[in-house]
Chains A and B, each alone.
Chain A
Amino acid sequence: MSPEFLDRLKRRTFLENSMTGIGAVALASILGKSGSLHAAPGKTPGIGGPAGKGGGVLGETRHVPVKVKRVIHLCMAGGQSHLESFDYKPKLAELDGQPMPSSFTEGQQLAQLQKSANKLKCMGPQFGFSKCGKSGQEISDVFPHIQKVADEIAIIRSMQTEQINHDPAHTFMNTGSIIPGRPSMGAWVNYGIGSDSEDLPGFVVLTSVGGGQGQPISSRQWSNGFLPSQYQGVQFQSKGDAVHYVKNPPGISRDAQKELVETVSQMDRLLGKRRYEPEIEGRIAQYEMAFKMQASVPGLMDVAAETPETLERYGCTPGDGSYAANCLLARRLAERGVRFIQLYHRGWDHHGGIKNAFQKTANLVDQGTAALIMDLKERGMLEDTLIIFGGEFGRTPMAQGSGRDHHINAFSMFLCGGGVQGGVTHGATDELGYTAVEDPVHVHDLHATMLHLLGIDHLRLTYRFQGRDFRLTDVFGHLIKPVLS
């Protein structure tokens, strides 16, 4: 029996050993020996995974005090109307059906309403609003559950963006650029500070089913862009296997797969004995991680262990792929150390029939959102989580038939969690909700603030690509200080 063979018998046990070192392995490989990520121009040598503890370019360094460890972005895709959600405009109600004063709209970019720009009419808010909680924040009655968490959230009524169509607007919201191919914010965050998860990707994307979700969503929205590919978001599918190829081939048991993975590693190690091959250990770590994911992903998705009270709070049937079920999964991902969690719900593109359709979509997201906030709070996790809630743009105060068109001059979002003041409203739009006139907040500002809460100075998280140091915030970005606690 050869010495290698004996060696192998010992190594058979590696999967039973704890795997704290994987992030460190990945990082060491990325950095190479020079300790600089940019030492090899134009490419990233070495090895990394989509997951892995640590693994960020900043290592343990943080530029500013860390307020949160993770981000959950609840993306209301399609462009949620601010006028039916968080920005009540009584004057608009008064002018319902009247011509829209041209002073607001002249020379402004419109989307589908462009063709009827000369006969624009006001459309009043379709729902009543209430003053909620101790703070008395005004929230639409269509969100009874979110109303109950009013004191936890900071509403921003003065959001603005630059892109008036879905695809580029999402790209802008996620990457800070309209040019496809730039890294998304989840990729930036993982590139900067890595992840705390040992057996799941650091950036997970969930998309929900149900509720007339017409607009497509592209995987570009969670792309790593020019960052190394281990920072890309991994989309967990709501149908079939949650992660592609996570299931063994038919006829292969977990034990058989384990033996196979171990044999691959054993063979790779034999190669490493024959030639100098320093990346072998990194590769073996990737195979171990893959094998672990084959168990951890189904484990994550299996919410049978949740109590009936929890399921009732979220109002979901486990595994139904609904937004509420994804909110519950978001909490489970957060518990497992995933750094950036993004939920898409695509039902907000209400060009027509906004009253019924908005109500329907609101019903699908209201309870899950509030449940996630309170569940995290009760588990002591809200204080180190940042929740971002909102869409890629807002909607016009003018009617488009029975709906509203896309709108970039004003929309609402809310922030919630560590380092964020609850119960405050920041910024304001004009009396018709057309333009953010008080403390406008740009998408770049949102990015800067998010990074700040994670302990990162947005000016100092850069990556050199095509000869330029790129940032998530491009050359812009200011902190939204009034909402910070």
Chain B
Amino acid sequence: MIRSTFLLLLLCAIFPASLRGEETLSFNRDIRPILSDKCFACHGPDKNTREADLRLDVREEAVAMEAIVPGDLKASEVYWRMVTDDDSEIMPPPETHKALTEEEKRILSRWIEEGAKYEAHWAYLPIRRPEVKGESGLHPIDVLVLDRLEAEGLNFSAKAEEATLLRRLHFDITGLPPQPGDLDKFRQVGISRYVDTLLDSSHFGERMAIEWLDAVRYADTVGYHGDQNVEVSAYRDWVIKAYNENKSFDQFTIEQIAGDLLPDATLDQKVAASYHRLGQTSQEGGIQDAEYLAKYQAERVRTTSTAWMGSTLACAECHDHKFDPYTARDFYEFAAYFADILEKGAWTGDGSYQEDIKPYQQAGIAFGKRGPQLAVPTIEEKERIAKLETEVVAAKEELQAPRSELSGAAMQWAEGWRGKTISDGPFDYVYLAEKGERNGVDTNGWKFVTAKEGKVHEGSVARLQKSDGLLQHIGKSSGKPLLISEGDQLFSYVWLDPKNPPKQVMLQFHHSKGGWSHRAWWGEDVIPYGQGSDGPSHHRVADLPETGKWIRLEVPVEAVGLVPGDEVTQLAFTQHGGTVYWDTAGIHTSSQKYREELMPAGIRDLITKPADQWSEKEKATLLAEYRKVAPELEPQRTRLRNLEGQLAEAKKAERTIPATVSAKAREIRILPRGNWTDRSGEVVQSGTPHFLPQLKKEKAGSRLELAQWLVSPENPLTARTYVNRLWARFFGTGISGVVDDLGSQGEWPTHPELLDWLAADFIESGWDIKKLVKTIVLTKTYAQSSESSPELDEKDPYNRLLARQSGLRLPAELVRDNALAVSGLLNPKIGGRSARPYQPAGYYQHLNFPRRTYQADQDENQYRRGLYTHWQRTFLHPAMKAFDAPSREECTMERDASSTPLQALVLLNDPSFVESAKALAANSEDVTDLFRKALTRLPTPDELVVLEELAESERKRLRDDSEAANGLLSVGLKKIETEDEIELAARTAVARVVLNLKETITRY
């Protein structure tokens, strides 16, 4: 048995002191909770709300004020304030509704009499591995748990049945249920080796990711206002991979907090650092940049300090912490670590970055709707891009392949150009050739169409304009103005639909200085621009031209008031009513400038001399130029163009993620009362909370420093927070019950030595997560039966002493995973973009900017694990929400585990579960097999009777109702072929029952 005086103190965490007899009082266990809850709000760390200048959280001050006179109760002011009858004197004041109980008064009195000893708060003391001298064969964890149990007159429960333990291990480690045959394997290889296989499974990372994603508020939408989508799935995949590779927790931390700052940061490390960009952001019109920067900053402090430190540093945003030693300065110094992150507060036109982003853009960082973005293609995207790149190279080679017949043709071609330069006849210079950059996009009555879809004059697309009334399209070219020369004609090609001709068509030219008053028109005078007038600003050319064929509209420049030297900057194509295809527009000119512009640069010099003087190099240039236009190479060029187009598109569609880019640090001030408009507070530099062990400064002030501080062995909070939370996952409650607050208002651990043993072991192992998991699940404590008894419930209703395991309702994701897995529907793919399972129609109707319609996945993606579900912060998938998945608007360290009628409705009626039932029924030989697939055990005879009776009753009903079976079997994407619909539907009813059972959604 352990001989530690410390351990004697464990006896009391859940029992009142009065039951414990008269052992020594502990400040942290017995006194601090009372002072913190009842006194510190007015007599604690926060100087702004401190009354009578008295603080009771610091012994020297309490003693100096004679509030507490150690050893002399009657001389202590605190005592008189506790026991007085006078409402104006008594403490805490009645209006706080925080009256001390008689028991609390007794404990405080005894403590003062015994000398009023203080201790630093347990969680801020260094982590020390306690010496555990246990019975042989017992793991230290079991020793520490058992010691406490024995002190309470309890003992471990019997070991869980093998099938139960197997199922427990599966849900806890991979999150997927055992498959048929796993039980035999488990028996064969033994638990240790079996656990190794589970830890080696790539589903381990998925299971571990769920809680981590809650903590870091990972979601697929921005949360605020329009709750727009944001692509962040690469971060989720990084978390899964990190767990699967057993990345040590210190490295896991460093990469998320400062991966981008590591030397030669890899793409993975940069993706990890996108952790800082997962918080909610807003693009609501009218929001203030500074206000939202303050929100993001506070949110980062909340998330980082809660997720890693189990601390409520966030409470110090407006004032010094009321219970813990955090000051408001600590809060803002912590916030200052994040001041370098390149971002805006308002992701609208009103927000601005802290510095000019041009240098970043020049350095190759792409900027999207939410600022800097990293390209992180999914595996499929990577494969597709690689394939296209190879094909492009091949197509280029094919185009460049030596062809003897080319040189002669190239010579002829060059000579042709020579001829054109000598002749001075006019030619067409195309100013606007529609290439369909916005192909298929219908904006304001026009769209690009291909020859398959409509009429095209030249190239691959034309522009279709269709309207009941006035319709104008303004064509912008490369940006270079069109220079007018003597005798030029302006032209544009049109095709008027004979079935729906316009009343009028008009060409308008925008003069670089004089505006739009240069118009030529055909048909009736109904377009309002210049209507009724005559002259160059409204020149009537002719009646509407012939319909049903391509017509070249042409007008001399002087007719629309343009003279040589004028510059046209834009063209407008206007029609009134009708269906019109518009294509190539430009100028018919003799301008030498444009002639040369049209001529390929490579042959401009060439044709100044005779062919026999061309050097080899010049000949090669000619050949290269010719390959670009040679009619005989058109198929090769088309193929290359298509491939390049596909590659560009694939690259554009690559998955991205908002990047954490370190830029000029913003100035961080203490915001008085958290008020972002108050600029009177002091400017602070980054720093870690003043009362915790400090890191030797190396990289002063950077996020890397914060990361290293978080995982330094001296940090008393990080390891405790992580192991405590992991413990809660395996046993239902943390060793300190409030996993997101290890501070004063948290809970004194039920097993303080165990918590420290685990934390110390974790650090000493090199923060080895898989080892920690394995250590815990191989203990006797873990392997116990989870069954309670009335006596045990009476003594330990929340199973804090661990005389048994806990039966835990599966988290939302696993409720889904289990149904898909046992039915054989599960798509086991790891990672990738988020998935969209079936969801009730119209659920997003209150979203706007933009409006959205949910499209459920129509392929294998429909059957992805729950953690891949598209996480819409403001409208989380109803099935996930019903099973207590958090919205992830904020860091969430622990989920509720409720049981509600809404859950029953999900399991009964959600198509995902109905389809799973159908597949489970179809994949099972009989009711017994079906049951065993779902629960890893055989049904009892009674259970079998009940299920068989339901099946029989259903068969009868379905035979009487000819449509019913077909109706039920129509649920879901996957059609199941069967010769006996009635039998399958009846079994589906049985499977629905099984998927609804408490046992099915519980890990015992």
Contact = CB atoms under 8 A, between A and B. Distances in A.
Contact of B847 (A216, A261, A276): A216
A119 interface: no
B223 A180 contact: yes
A128 B28 CA distance: 67
B964 A247 contact: no
Interface string B908-945: 11110010000000000000000000000000111101
A238 B841 CA distance: 11
B966 interface: yes
B899 interface: yes
Nearest to A279: B899
A5 B280 CA distance: 54
A253 B953 CA distance: 13
A40 B847 contact: no
A33 interface: yes
Nearest to B918: A249
A109 B289 CA distance: 12
A39 B903 CA distance: 25
B739 A39 contact: no
A253 B900 CA distance: 23
Contacts of B350: 114-115
A180 B967 CA distance: 42
B633 interface: no
A381 B701 CA distance: 63
A263 B941 CA distance: 15
A276 B790 contact: yes
Contacts of A280: 998
A207 B847 CA distance: 12
A272 B905 CA distance: 22
Interface residues of A, number: 101
A478 interface: no
Contacts of A196: none
A109 B961 contact: no
Give the most central of A5, A46, A219: most B CB within 10 Å.
A219
A332 B226 CA distance: 32
A243 to B, nearest CB: 7
A319 interface: no
A262 to B, nearest CB: 9
Contacts of B879: 245
Contacts of A361: none
A368 B807 CA distance: 50
Contacts of B947: 263, 267
Contact of B875 (A219, A229, A294): A219
A271 B312 contact: no
B998 A286 contact: no
Contacts of A380: none
B909 A40 contact: no
Nearest to A251: B967
A252 B964 contact: yes
Contacts, number: 290
Nearest to B732: A43
B288 A466 contact: no
Contacts of A4: 942, 945-946
B959 to A, nearest CB: 13
A255 B950 CA distance: 12
B793 interface: yes
A228 B963 contact: no
Contacts of B794: 33
Given A251-B985, A279-B899, A216 B227 contact: yes
A389 interface: no
Nearest to B905: A245
A286 B901 contact: yes
A47 B286 contact: no
A308 interface: no
Given A251-B968, A275-B787, A260 B899 contact: no
A385 interface: no
Contact of A251 (B280, B848, B965): B965
Contacts of B968: 249-252
B993 A264 contact: yes
Nearest to A256: B957
A51 interface: yes
Contact of B737 (A41, A259, A275, A290): A41
Interface in A107-123: 109, 111-112, 114-115
A41 B898 contact: no
A246 B967 contact: no
A467 B677 contact: no
Interface in B250-306: 280, 282, 284-288
Nearest to B904: A290
Given A48-B899, A280-B998, A467-B744, A290 B874 contact: no
A164 B905 contact: no
Given A270-B943, A276-B789, A47 B899 contact: yes
Nearest to A223: B887
B946 A260 contact: no
B378 interface: no
Contact of A39 (B284, B798, B909, B996): B798
Given A237-B843, A251-B985, A290-B904, A33 B744 contact: no
Given A47-B899, A249-B909, A468-B315, A2 B287 contact: no
Interface in A252-301: 252-253, 255-257, 259-261, 263-264, 266-268, 270-271, 274-280, 282-283, 286-287, 289-291, 293-294
B900 A50 contact: yes
B821 to A, nearest CB: 20
Nearest to B737: A41
A214 interface: yes
B225 A114 contact: no
B286 A406 contact: yes
Contacts of B940: 270, 274
Contact of B738 (A34, A41, A168): A41
Nearest to B224: A167
Nearest to B315: A468
B904 A287 contact: yes
Interface in A336-383: 346
Given A42-B740, A253-B964, A293 B905 contact: yes
A33 B797 contact: yes
18 contacts: A39-B797, A40-B737, A43-B894, A45-B798, A49-B900, A49-B902, A109-B288, A166-B225, A180-B890, A181-B889, A181-B890, A230-B898, A237-B840, A239-B845, A275-B787, A286-B900, A294-B905, A466-B740
3 cross-chain pairs, A with B, having the tightest CB-CB distances, nearest first = A467-B745, A251-B967, A41-B737
